[in-house]
Amino acid sequence: MKKLLLIRHAEAESFAEQGDFYRPLSAKGIADATRLAQKLEADGLIPDEIMSSRALRTTTTANIIASQLRLPSAKLSQAIYEASERTLLNTINHFNDSIAFAALVGHNPGIAYLLLNLTGKVRDVLPCTAIAVVFEDAHSWQEVSHETGVITYYTAP
């Protein structure tokens, strides 16, 4: 069985001179990511590994969570930045099967569409720092596909 923790990055500043990719988390975003990590720890939702977009706001969110949960730094993937649900699903399908519980930190609309794709449950957008845990009745990440999952946990600030 596989579990997937989908996380939308925490709130970011609305502007960065270098462009969207380099937007840092706002003070509220840092606080929200810290609270989220504490909630994950309290609820026993500790993934084996975290994969994140390389954008500054997602890597910061992922690393705040990793630090709180005493996990290694997130693995980074350029493909997750502004990715479609198809690209995100392809990323998941290539996770190492030794991982039972993986976390993916990404962006809207891709992360929200991925949740819809995996579960058939509509969530137009995921607010910043929203998370959903999807249970997959699969032995391999390659088996994860359209509407094979069930949302077992959801929270948003």
Per-residue CA distances from 131 to 96, 105, 106 (Å): 22, 9, 11
What is the token pair recorded at 146?
A: 């359209």
58-70: pLDDT as tens digits:
999 999 999 999 9
Q: Is pLDDT of 122 > 80?
A: no
The dihedrals phi and psi of 156, each to the nearest 5 degrees, come to: -145, 150
Tell me the domain boundaries of the chain: 2-155
CATH number of 2-155: 3.40.50.1240
pLDDT of residue 123: 64
pLDDT of residue 124: 62
pLDDT of residue 78: 96
21-62: pLDDT as tens digits:
999 999 999 999 999 999 999 999 999 999 999 999 999 999
* The overall pTM is greater than 0.75: yes
pLDDT of residue 157: 84
pLDDT of residue 76: 98
Whose structure tokens read 């705040």? 64
